[in-house]
């Protein structure tokens, strides 16, 4: 609640970089602390304690950051305001729901078809990849309001900003791929022991989905600010169906490696659909052809 309030405050003041900075520092600190605890303590209880401490600290930090701007907090329920809020936000709730299924359906199917061992290996590798998704989250927080302003005032400038972002995210994404692919066999054995050593192969595969997710963030933000968010719901529903079918077919033979490759394939499909849809929306809205994205 407090981090969300701080995010809204910064959005209204056009200072979203503050929330992005706090989020990045928090996530980096949490990841470092959890990784270190795994290296030295190898205890699940220590991990839970660290999560408890870090999230409490994060909550109070956001509280004091927003507290400075208000004399007092008044907690009340405005029915009309909530009704209006729900009408405008239910689409994003549905997007979050189906995207959550999209990212987790492979784990459920692995559990059903191959058991806990395959789930453990796959999840261990996927978590290292998942930790890097804070880059996409931070990008979305910082860029969405800028995209919204440009979509209203200067659509051509929006295209130029998107082009710059795509170039930057391309270099960042493939830089991370290079480091992860070649260094993971050296570094990850410090954290992954026994049967979980096989998770390194999962990391080396799913990491190729990272730049695709970063690219998707650019087009998702653009589609949101062009007020076509409802289309994204159908993309994720389609992806859920495709993921279900592919995992059902290939998990029995290739186990968790099938899920890793399907993750990358799904993101290739995702970015292809988003680019196609964005171009169609742009042509209909502005009656112009995109020739340099």
- Encode pLDDT of 91-133 as tens digits: 888 998 999 999 899 999 999 999 888 898 898 888 888 888 8
CA 96 vs CA 101, 102, 245, 266: distances in Å: 9, 10, 21, 17
Question: Tokens 């130029």 — which residue?
Answer: 160
Q: What is the CA radius of gyration of the chain?
A: 21
pLDDT in tens, 132-182: 888 888 788 778 888 888 888 888 899 999 999 999 999 999 999 999 888
Statement: residue 289 has pLDDT above 70: no
pLDDT in tens, 188-198: 777 766 667 78
Mean pLDDT, rounded, of the chain: 87
Domain definitions of the chain by residue range:
1-70, 88-293
Statement: residue 43 has pLDDT above 90: no
Query: So what's the pLDDT on residue 6?
Result: 87
pLDDT cut 90: percent of the chain above it: 44
b/e 244-275 (16+ beta carbons within 10 angstroms → b): bebbeeebeeebbbbbbbbbbebbebbbebbb
Query: So what's the pLDDT on residue 194?
Result: 65
Quote the CA–CA distance of 159 and 253 in Å, as a whole number. Answer: 44
Query: So what's the pLDDT on residue 288?
Result: 63
Say if CB 172 and CB 149 are below 8 A apart. Answer: no
pTM to 2 decimal places: 0.77
């Amino acid at each position: 609640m407090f981090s969300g309030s701080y995010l809204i405050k910064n959005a209204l003041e056009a200072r979203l970089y503050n929330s992005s900075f706090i989020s990045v520092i928090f996530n980096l600190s949490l990841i470092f602390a959890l990784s270190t605890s795994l290296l030295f303590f190898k205890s699940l209880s220590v991990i839970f304690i660290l999560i408890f401490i870090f999230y409490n600290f994060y909550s109070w930090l956001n509280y004091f950051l927003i507290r400075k701007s208000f004399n007092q907090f008044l907690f009340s329920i405005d029915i009309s305001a909530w009704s209006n809020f729900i009408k405008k936000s239910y689409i994003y709730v549905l997007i979050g729901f189906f995207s959550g299924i999209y990212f987790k359906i492979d784990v459920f199917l692995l559990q059903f078809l191959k058991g806990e061992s395959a789930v453990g290996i796959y999840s261990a590798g996927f978590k290292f990849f998942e930790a890097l998704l804070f880059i996409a989250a931070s990008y979305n927080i910082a860029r969405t309001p800028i995209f919204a302003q440009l979509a209203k005032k200067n659509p051509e400038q929006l295209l130029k900003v998107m082009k710059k972002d795509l170039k930057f995210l391309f270099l960042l994404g493939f830089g991370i791929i290079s480091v992860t692919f070649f260094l993971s066999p050296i570094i990850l054995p410090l954290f992954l022991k026994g049967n979980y050593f096989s998770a390194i192969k999962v990391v080396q595969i799913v990491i190729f989905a990272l730049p695709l997710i970063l690219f998707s963030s650019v087009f998702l933000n653009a589609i949101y600010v062009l007020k076509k968010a409802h289309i994204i719901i159908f993309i994720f529903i389609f992806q859920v169906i495709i993921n279900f079918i592919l995992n059902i077919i290939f998990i029995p033979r290739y186990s968790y490696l099938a899920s890793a490759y399907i993750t990358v394939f799904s993101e290739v499909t995702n970015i292809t659909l988003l680019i196609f849809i964005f171009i169609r929306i742009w042509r209909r809205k502005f009656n112009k052809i995109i020739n340099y994205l």
